[in-house]
Chains A and B, each alone.
Chain A
């Protein structure tokens, strides 16, 4: 089994290696407007190394990472708890749904001007943006997951003597997990996309801010380093939640 997994991973890496090879060749042969605007992959690797050793990349990456982790975890937990309450209690759902339906379509970055005036430029601002970006989709996925739980399981648990709270904790929430994880997986990647955008517009530190500085200095190699980091982080977070979902639900699904 393990051998098969390694083999599978190797196959997945091959297209990436080919892509990087073609990129290197095209850049080296000057096929697209020269080294300056289209640096080869090897230059990007070298630049990544310089940025890391010179202490530029580390603090910026750490700033973005902490913002994403704090904003995403608080937003997800709040969305999850609110989703459980709304999914379980019809009254709460009916009372809150209209307000949430109104706020949900507003893109997270749309809140930026208002939040800048309310909180100023500081750590609260990006964390709040990520909180908003995570809260609503996870809330919706949780409500959907809970509503999709077959009512017969709830009847069966009730007949067996379970109280409402026991049914919620032992039956409803575990059965809603696949839906909840879909929300977590998609939004963890979205959190990175949003934080980069927020840092580019309003925050002086982080990968997004570094991206903007590189643009003003016309440092295409640094821009590409930042974009690769963004891609890798989105993917890593999504892979982490896919792994967690499989670990928790694969036995019975």
Chain B
């Protein structure tokens, strides 16, 4: 069980943010640059001080330092330690938590396998491609079996194809691991693809929280300014060829 609740959170641009993220949910925090998305993640992670309260499973964690919050955090810049190889990066959290050598070895092997990066275990971050770095960073974030995962625009630096592929993989993994996740992005289509629910943040204010359909079909004024008004075309749906799907537009 790992729900997150933010109560009257204020810091920098964020003013009195109240938000609840349910257990095992993938919530996408959507908003333009400078909306305060990363600030909220850093507050949840305990990396910066703030006003208000953060609750994990209804228990306040405001006094809990970052290294005790049991959070996995995938930073925008990934922040893989450049002087440590892939296996070492993944094992870092386990080592500093003084897990036994045997446990570390098994866990790292397991993550290397899940992330399909076993062949990269002795490589250094500078030798990896963008997508490979992404996988290593995710493996490192998951190594300590965190109960909460925070992802700060992790696909930003990747090309469209790699990003799409990794997003699909990640979504499957998130459901499999049943880990409560906050995924930050400024791209609505990415949000739509990933989210169980979307929270739209603008200038530090939560504008709308709801399912992707709610946000897309019934945006509030501020949200539609950001994502745009939807173009809705009514139509009938039929099969033309067995492998092609088509829609006939009746009216609009």
Chain A positions within 8 Å of B, measured between CB atoms, are 150, 152-153, 155-163, 166, 170-171, 174-175, 249, 251-253
Residue B93, interface by CB 8 Å: yes
Binary CB contact string for chain B from 50 to 84 against chain A (1 if under 8 A, 0 otherwise): 00000000000000011111011101010101111
Query: Which residues does chain B contribute within 8 Å of A253, judged by CB atoms?
Result: 82, 126
Q: Are B83 and A156 closer than 8 Å at their CB atoms?
A: no
Question: B226 to nearest A CB, angstroms?
Answer: 27
**In the complex, residue of chain B having the shortest beta-carbon distance to the beta carbon of A155:** B47
Residue B124, interface by CB 8 Å: yes
Question: A250 to nearest B CB, angstroms?
Answer: 10
Q: Are A156 and B67 closer than 8 Å at their CB atoms?
A: no
Query: Which residues does chain B contribute within 8 Å of A158, judged by CB atoms?
Result: 47, 65-67
Query: Which residues does chain A contribute within 8 Å of B66, judged by CB atoms?
Result: 155, 158-159
Q: Are A153 and B124 closer than 8 Å at their CB atoms?
A: no
Task: Add 12 more A-B contacts to A152-B77, A252-B82, A252-B84 (CB < 8 A).
Answer: A150-B79, A152-B79, A156-B81, A159-B67, A159-B73, A161-B68, A162-B67, A163-B96, A170-B92, A170-B96, A171-B81, A251-B124
In Å, the complex CA distance between A174 and B83 comes to 7
Query: Which residues does chain B contribute within 8 Å of A155, judged by CB atoms?
Result: 47, 66, 73, 75, 79
Q: Are B47 and A157 closer than 8 Å at their CB atoms?
A: no
Q: Are A153 and B73 closer than 8 Å at their CB atoms?
A: no
Chain B positions within 8 Å of A, measured between CB atoms, are 45, 47, 65-69, 71-73, 75, 77, 79, 81-84, 92-93, 96-97, 124-126, 140, 143-144
In Å, the complex CA distance between A159 and B143 comes to 12
Q: Is the interface of A mostly helix, strand, loop or mixed?
A: helix
The winner among A161, A170, A174, A175 for most chain B CB atoms within 10 A is A161
Contact A252/B96 with A161-B67, A163-B67 known, Cβ cut-off 8 Å: no
Q: List 23 A-B contacts (CB under 8 A).
A: A152-B79, A153-B79, A155-B47, A155-B75, A156-B75, A156-B81, A157-B92, A158-B47, A159-B66, A159-B69, A159-B72, A160-B96, A160-B144, A161-B67, A161-B68, A161-B96, A162-B96, A166-B96, A171-B81, A175-B82, A252-B83, A252-B125, A252-B126
